[in-house]
A = this chain, B = another copy of it.
């Protein structure tokens, strides 16, 4: 069993004292590592170290700041498989899903490598007579990032490479439940050639988050977590004059139009609903069928396909070649919550087409498995529709037309992702313009944008003016200075 360490000022560091938390393999229930509970004082110290590093890092030309990112990209690509397996072991997602997570990391580094172009400001000759205007875009200082358990490696990279490339220094608080992957990645960051203090890894809990929100040297905080935590971060950061990007809960709807291509659509729905055992913030959990026929067909076919999903430990060699494997949910606690929600759905009158409770996975009896679960006849008022269940539980709803489908989405508290299945351009345009969700898919089940475009939701799914990832995130990590300049005339 491995004992994790913090990475501060370019060195691996033990915490003082002896507060650790166990890291569990959710497929087997085994304890695979222990992670230190960093104290507030240690977090504060790390922030000060990162700030000291910032003072010289900001003056390194941007082209030199991206050089270590190119190096890191190579290192991570070479070790993709090792990191992916670590991720599966501690998180429970399937190996293909872990590899997909790695790919998105690579992409984000690639985009941030374009910083010498992205960070250019503007120059206007003649903003008035003999006077010029300039916008220069400079880094701000130390930024903190709080990682979630579901994408413990990818999510930090929505921010990290951009923050660093633009001249800031960056601290990741690893996921408390799933810290090993980010710790392993830090080993490669350590080899990439960044000066000490430019990147910092902290393990632990609340104390680190508090330090991020309160320490005066932190200039901004990024969080992917619950909507409740998002509001807390937003309020504290606003009160302390800090920037924030806070991504919260989601309940993603997929609209199926009568002209949707059935077999393609079903395959897509399955991947979206059950990938990561429904624990993706971009996972679909509500299927909205337009018209009676669509509803009937989708109910039948989706349940049929759901039954074929293999639920087991994704590292079990027997499933190595299977296309659709679903692992456990993250913890016993999470499992309990999901089972309770299924019971709630039954109580409030939804029709349980497929029941994932009581699933036993031979050989992995201590794993936190929940089987695929499907409800039909779900209505907007119901708790299973209002709540983000974060498990393999799917609600199917029926409406008579696209307007009604969009209304259901727009009335919902969350607005992260949404998709439509149709070949019809008119419906597509209406869906794009009227649906209040930040990331939209057309015949795409998980409309998570590539790293060349921003990532972010609306309403209670994201509290922030600036989204993550892509070329626009540079606005979060730089501040514009606007300069008005002239020189008095000299002779000659």
Question: Which A residues are within 8 Å of any B CB, using their own CB?
Answer: 59-63, 66, 70, 73-74, 107, 110-111, 113-114, 116-138, 231, 234-235, 237-239, 241, 243-244, 261, 264, 290, 400-403, 422-429, 432-433, 437-444, 447-456, 458-460, 463, 465-467, 470-472, 475-476, 479-492
Given contacts A425-B428, A438-B479, A438-B481, 8 further A-B contacts (CB under 8 A): A63-B450, A110-B116, A120-B123, A125-B137, A133-B450, A133-B453, A440-B481, A465-B476
Nearest B residue to A469 via CB reads B482
Q: Given the known A-B contacts A441-B485, A488-B264, are A124 and B452 also in contact in the complex, defined by CB atoms under 8 Å?
A: yes
A485 contacts B122, C-beta separation under 8 Å:
no
CB–CB B443/A482 < 8 A: no
Find out whether the CB atom of A440 lies under 8 angstroms from the CB atom of B482.
yes
Contact between A482 and B438, CB atoms less than 8 A apart? yes
Copies in the complex: 4
How far is B475's CA from A426's CA once the two chains are assembled, in angstroms? 28
Interchain residue pairs with CB less than 8 A apart (21): A62-B124, A110-B114, A113-B114, A114-B118, A116-B450, A116-B452, A127-B449, A130-B429, A136-B432, A231-B239, A241-B463, A423-B488, A424-B487, A428-B485, A432-B483, A439-B481, A439-B482, A440-B481, A441-B485, A444-B486, A448-B484
Are the C-beta atoms of A452 and B486 separated by less than 8 Å? no
- Complex Cα–Cα for A147 and B104 (A): 37
Contacts A424-B423, A425-B487; A117 near B118 (Cβ below 8 A): yes
- Structural contact, A455 and B433, CB atoms closer than 8 A: no
A126 to B261 Cα, complex, angstroms: 21
| Contacting pair A484 B116 (CB below 8 A) | no
Let me know if A124 and B453 touch, CB within 8 A.
yes
- Residues in B neighbouring A442, C-beta threshold 8 A: 425, 483-487
CB contacts (< 8 Å) of A489 on chain B: these are: 426
Set of chain B residues within 8 Å of A120, measured between Cβ atoms: 122-124, 452
Are B484 and A129 in contact, CB atoms less than 8 angstroms apart? Answer: no
Contact among B126, B135, B481, B485 for A443, CB-based, below 8 A: B485
Are B452 and A480 touching (Cβ within 8 A)? Answer: no
B243 touches A239 (CB 8 A): no
Residues on B with beta carbons closer than 8 Å to the beta carbon of A63: 107, 110, 127-128, 450, 452
Contacts of A59 in B (CB 8 A): 126, 129
- Select from chain B the residue with minimum beta-carbon distance to A110: B113
For A107, the chain B residues whose CB sits under 8 A away are 63
Q: Which residues on the B side are within 8 Å of A424 (C-beta)?
A: 423-425, 487, 490
> Known: A426-B489, A481-B432. Is A124-B114 also a contact (CB below 8 A)?
no
Looking at the assembled complex, report how far the CB atom of A133 sits from the nearest CB atom of chain B, in whole angstroms: 5
CA distance A23 to B438 in the complex (A): 46
Q: Is the CB of A128 within 8 A of B450?
A: yes
- Chain B residues, Cβ within 8 Å of A110: 63, 66, 70, 113-114, 116
Q: Are A492 and B402 in contact (CB under 8 A)?
A: yes
In the bound complex, residues from chain B placing their C-beta under 8 Å from that of A403 are 492
Q: Are A449 and B482 touching (Cβ within 8 A)?
A: yes
* CB closest residue in chain B, given A237: B238
By beta carbon, the residue of chain B nearest A73 is B70
Taking CB atoms, residues of chain B closer than 8 Å to A121 are 122-125
Residues of B within 8 A of A132 (CB): 429
Task: Check B466 against A465 for contact (C-beta < 8 Å).
Answer: yes
The distance from the CB of A123 to the nearest CB of chain B, in whole angstroms, is: 4
> Are A61 and B444 in touch, CB under 8 angstroms?
no
The complex places the Cα of A107 from the Cα of B115 at a distance, in Å, of 12
- Asked if B490 and A426 make an inter-chain contact with CB atoms under 8 angstroms apart, the answer reads yes
Who on chain B is nearest to A121 by CB?
B123
Closest to A483 in B: B440
Are B135 and A453 in contact (CB-based, < 8 A)? yes
